[in-house]
Amino acid sequence: QSALTQPASVSGSPGQSITISCTGTSSDVGGYNYVSWYQQHPGKAPKLMIYDVSNRPSGVSNRFSGSKSGNTASLTISGLQAEDEADYYCSSYRSSSTPVVFGGGTKLTVL
């Protein structure tokens, strides 16, 4: 069982917006602003899309945005494009002997 809870799958049509949730606890998502999101295409390494809850690394499209409320973080992708179809993982710092936890991943299908 993953430390952070994500929906197994979400879908949307091109041009639409979707949101992926990531629920943790006060020991991770709720307690720190060290939340990140990764995009992974099949057979590839993950790619950092969001860090510090809502910041985008250089080169990441502004169609990707992040937010947090309480113990739940969210990734929103606006103006869906075919190339956005991928798996998405959230991650958070956790105050424990294992300081990095991931969500189970969400498969995004662009219809």
Interacting residues toward another protein by CB under 8 A: 2, 34, 36, 38, 45-48, 51-52, 57, 89, 91, 93, 96-105
- Residue 72 φ/ψ region, left for φ over 0, alpha for ψ in the -120 to 50 degree band, beta for the rest: beta
CB of 60 to another protein, least distance (A): 11
d(CA 96, CA 20): 25
* Alpha-carbon distances of 48 from 14, 45, 64, rounded to whole Å: 22, 10, 11
* Complex with another protein: residue 28 or 84, whichever CB lies closer: 28
* Complex with another protein: residue 71 or 106, whichever CB lies closer: 106
Cβ count near 97 (within 10 Å) = 5
CB of 74 to another protein, least distance (A): 18
* Complex with another protein: residue 59 or 82, whichever CB lies closer: 59
